Each structure stands twice: as C-alpha cells, then as structure tokens.
Structure 1
C-alpha cells in the first residue's frame, strides 16, 4: 500500500490542493462581505432573495473548507468583518449599485466559482476534495441558473450580438 491508498482523509494534501482550498476560502469571504454590501443597495425583492441564497451558500461552503484546512494544519486566511445593514433610502442615488449591476456582478462571480471548482476537481488527488468541489460546483450551477432566469425576467440581461443566419429563398 502506498501513501495515497486507503482513506483519502488520511492522505496528505498536496500544495496545489492547499493553495486552491485556501484561495477558495479567502475569495469566498470577500464575496460574502461584498454581497452583504450589495444587499443594502438592492431594491428588487427577488434579487434580495437570491443575494441571501448566495450568502448562505457561500457561508456553508466556507465552513466546510475552513474545517478541512484546520484538520490539515493549514492556517486560515484573514476574514473581513460582516457588513452592517443599511437603509437603501439613505444611500444617495448616484452612489448606489443598481439592481442590474448587482445581478451581473454576482452572476460573473458564480461563473468564476464554477471554473474554480472545476479546477480543484481536476487537480485533486484526494477523492474527498474532488467530491467536495464537485458538490460546490453543482450548487453554484443551480444558483447561476436562478440568476440567469432573474436577469432574463427583469430585462437585465444584455446579450452579445446575436448571430442569425439569413434565410434562403
């Protein structure tokens, strides 16, 4: 039996796994802080619900990866403080993020998160790490679909130029 056989949780993490997990946690912490701020700026009720879901999902993921890092003796990245709740009306109109901007930013973050999860799945040699990020990937894909639907329903989606084939007579 080699060092990489048996229970994956007893196998050491390789440097790529450590860096990827640590970076995932660091980035997720920053996203949660940003989403808490964006929540203060959001006016649309449907958008607010999805922002709450994005925050909750990220916090659940952060808890799991923080525990994984601790179990493997890896120090955690610094965490930004939680953002206070603010009254939307107290934010001047010119200083506010618009709902469509918030939805676009979170949608882009979800797309980047999908790539991160796929990368971690591909570079992991521990099955539990690959499966963990596979689960995160699935959750992000579902949440991304919800944001896509919201962007379409609200008219916030700005498609790139559409390629239409001319019809032949």
Structure 2
C-alpha cells in the first residue's frame, strides 16, 4: 500500500516543477555547500566509527547514518553540478581497519561515537532549517524539507539507542525557585 505522505509529497513536487527557476542566490549556494560539507565530514566520521566499534547496534546505526548521508550528498552534488556550482573540497578517504588493532588511547568509545553522531544530527537539522528559511526557489525549499524530515526521523532512532544504552547526555534539570523537587 502506498504511503499517503509520499503521495502528497510527489504531488507537491509536480506542482513545483512548473515554477520558473531563477539562478540560485548566494545564500542558497552557501547553504547547499555547507550542508554538503557537513554530510561529507559525517560520512568520514561514520567510517571511522565502523572501523572502531564492535557493538552490533552501533554498527547498524553507523551504517544507516552513512547511507543517509551518502544519499543526501549524491542528491546535492548532482543538483549543484546541474546548476554549474563547483563542489567543496572533501576530506581524504579513511582506509578500513580492524577495531581491535586500534590502540586504546586513540580509540573512541561506543558512547563517544554515538554522541558524535547525535551532535552531527543536531548540526544537520539546524543547517537544514536555516538554509530552508533563506531559500527562495521552491525546488530547493522542498529539497531542504525532505532532508530535514529524514534527519529528524533518523534522530529519533538515534535517541532511542542512546537512551537504551545509557549514552544519552541530558543537561541538568531546571527547577524554578519555589517548585517542589
């Protein structure tokens, strides 16, 4: 059975395809460029995490995160190339390694890896929302909306794993003066 939200989304996209497309403005290009850089850096972090962890749940999370980032990166790269915008420089690829070969003083813990992913999700969500608020072209706005929806959905999965494992970093609770504790 088709997803009703996907049907609405595809309908909106067909309406948008009829919009006249002005050239991208500087803010739109900067948002796309910055987000593509965030994605490409996240892919390298996820590869490092996969090289480091032996935890199966965390490996699945890293693999899903990497697929999400690679998919969004491909979409933005293709879009920028179609628009004639040069690509940002990328980080050097990391070689594969065995988790047990990494010295303990260098190796990130599973907690650190998972929270690093969480931080990257927060940065990606913030960038999507900010870039969408600066966008004038409807096709670019829809792309940002799609990316943001994917990021917050993935963020919910990540938070569930962090909570389950006790890795979720919670700021101190605030109790206003006079409130019973």
Distance 1:6 1:109, change over 3 A: closer
Report what 1:86 is aligned to: 97
List runs of 5+ in structure 1 lacking aligned partners. Answer: none
Q: Following superposition of structure 1 onto structure 2, how do residues 46-85 of structure 1 map, counting pairs within 5 Å?
A: 46-85=57-96
2:115 aligns to what? 104
Cα distance, 1:79 vs. partner? 2.2
Distance 1:50 1:9 in 2: 40
Superimposed CA distance per residue, residues 9-35 of structure 1 (whole angstroms, 9 cap, x where no aligned partner) = 632111100111112112211111121
- Is 2:147 the counterpart of 1:133? no
Q: Give the Cα–Cα distance (whole angstroms) in 1 for the partners of residues 171 and 83 of structure 2.
A: 45
C-alpha root-mean-square deviation of aligned residues, in Å? 1.8
* Residues paired across the two proteins, number: 163
Give the Cα–Cα distance (whole angstroms) in 2 for the partners of residues 114 and 104 of structure 1: 15
**Does the alignment pair 1:145 with 2:156?**
yes
- Offset at 1:7? 3.6
TM-score, reference length from structure 2: 0.84
Cα displacement string for residues 97-151 of structure 1 (whole angstroms, at most 9, x for unaligned residues): 0000011111011011111000111110001111101110011101111111111
Distance 1:44 1:148 in 2: 16
